[in-house]
Amino acid sequence: MTTPLEKWQAGERERIIKHPAEPALLEVIAGHQETRRVFHYGLEVNGLHYNNDHLQKLRRQYGEELKVDFKYYEDDMGYIHVFDPYEKLYFKVHAIHFEYANGLRLVQHQSIPSALREQQKDPHNRELLLQNKQELQQIVTSAIHHNKMGKRKRQAVLRGKDSRLPKAEVFTFLEESFNEEVTEEIDLPDFEIGERKSNQRGEAE
């Protein structure tokens, strides 16, 4: 007589695990999906424009009211994937301002225009955006090597690992952190340590 365990083990040996036909599809699966209308300048996503010949070909084919499904990625604003309803597949579309968007995280992109507005500068100026991106990356790099836990906390926000700080303050906080005097002290959290009791056999409970 076959036991339930033996049946399960036999089923596991026969089970077929399906994987995407192409490894690149794994990235698409992990993206954030939205639906938006395609304009002559392409798609606007998180304040950035994305466009290429393939996207405009779809617009000409399906009309100016065409809406498409697409995926964007919080860890890289340099590109999105758009779904072609005719070919039934996703294709990559780069940001028009690729030099700025490439490798830029969403939280970083959201903080840079806010910093420019606080400085009463044009948040859409390409040169200013690119300059602030470079300054931001320098601040993050310096924060990585900083000894203070608070600096590492703020650096983690810009790397997309923590989102509890207001987005408008991220850039300002890191800039202030970068300008503070570096010390050798490390701020460690306080932990409460209780006494461990032993039983009659002398084993810790």
Range name among 53-57, 93-97, 144-148 with the lowest pLDDT average: 144-148
93/154 same-domain check = no
* Domain contains 54: yes
Domain count, the chain: 2
117/172 same-domain check = yes
53/122 same-domain check = no
Range name among 40-44, 61-65, 126-130, 145-149 with the lowest pLDDT average: 145-149
- Rounded Cα gap, residues 157 and 177, in angstroms: 13
Q: What is the reported pTM?
A: 0.58
Residue 154 host element (H or E): helix 149-158
Under the banding of pLDDT at 50, 70 and 90, the label for residue 32 is very high
* Domain contains 194: no
Provide the domain limits for residue 68: 21-101
* Domain contains 13: no
Final residue in a domain of this structure, among 84, 101, 118: 101
